[in-house]
Homo-oligomer: A and B are copies of this chain.
Amino acid sequence: MDDKLREILTKIQKRQIDIETGLKEIENLYYINMKYAVLDTHRQRRKGFPEVIFCQGKTTEQVVAIAKELMTHSEGNILGTRATYDCYQALAKEIPTAEYYETAKAIVIRQGEQTWVGNILVVSAGTADIPVAEEAAVTAEVMGNKVERLYDVGVAGLHRLLSQTGKLLEARVVIVVAGMDGALPSVIGGLVAKPIIAVPTSVGYGASFNGLAALLSMLNSCSSGVGVVNIDNGFGAGYLASLINQGIQR
């Protein structure tokens, strides 16, 4: 900041600019500096970070309005999570390029050139975990990552997973989505030395306590290299995986 400020002051001293102009330039500089971190975020966003709308709890009108406003400010992809099909249909009337990912319950509006880098693998333990896994997968894709899927390979039939170790080895980040006993991240963490993002799901009943059992199991993983996000938080897992993969990419 010092160099730019010195430059402004020199211009004032040399009367190349008047004081009011200097004031504004410093203010800009100042805000830019103060919001440095924020700007950094912005810079990265331009490189594949989507604008995100959490649709649940918003009216269809609100979602449409926000989406349209975002399109005027952002040149990148726009992602709507936890969206109903009804909501999508209303949106599609106004924004025909919008796509709907039914299992992920996600709306995607693609803008600009689409590129996919890295290799994020999304693994699900059971078929009932797939909606959360898809939310993670679509989030990562929209953020510019190449995503592989490996579904229904829970530990109750270990051979399903073992016959696919190749996919595990090719990934740079592995998202593991599991409910019930939440055992899968430990098993995968014992097989490969990759960053693993574990997503507990609320799949289960009784003493699963809506995902608490899986959450605790994952936090206590006997394998190292496992980070955990909130129950059913597919979006958060996809987002974190993208941050990791994009970093690797550079």
Contact = CB atoms under 8 A, between A and B. Distances in A.
A204 B215 CA distance: 15
Contact of A216 (B34, B41, B154, B213): B213
Contacts of A223: 155-156
A216 B207 contact: yes
A113 to B, nearest CB: 20
A14 to B, nearest CB: 9
Nearest to A212: B216
Contact of A181 (B19, B41, B182, B240): B182
Per DSSP, chain A at the interface is: helix
Given A186-B156, A191-B37, A224 B240 contact: yes
Given A206-B220, A228-B228, 15 more contacts: A5-B23, A6-B23, A9-B26, A37-B165, A38-B191, A155-B155, A158-B158, A173-B247, A180-B221, A180-B222, A182-B183, A205-B232, A207-B215, A213-B220, A219-B228
Interface of A: 2, 5-6, 9-10, 12-13, 15, 19, 22-23, 26, 30, 34-38, 40-41, 44-45, 49, 52, 57, 125-126, 128, 154-159, 162-163, 165, 168-169, 172-173, 180-183, 186-187, 189-195, 197, 200, 202, 204-233, 235-236, 239-240, 243-244, 247-248, 250
21 contacts: A5-B26, A9-B9, A9-B19, A30-B30, A37-B192, A41-B191, A44-B193, A155-B223, A156-B189, A156-B224, A173-B247, A181-B217, A183-B183, A206-B215, A206-B220, A212-B216, A213-B220, A219-B229, A220-B230, A224-B239, A225-B240
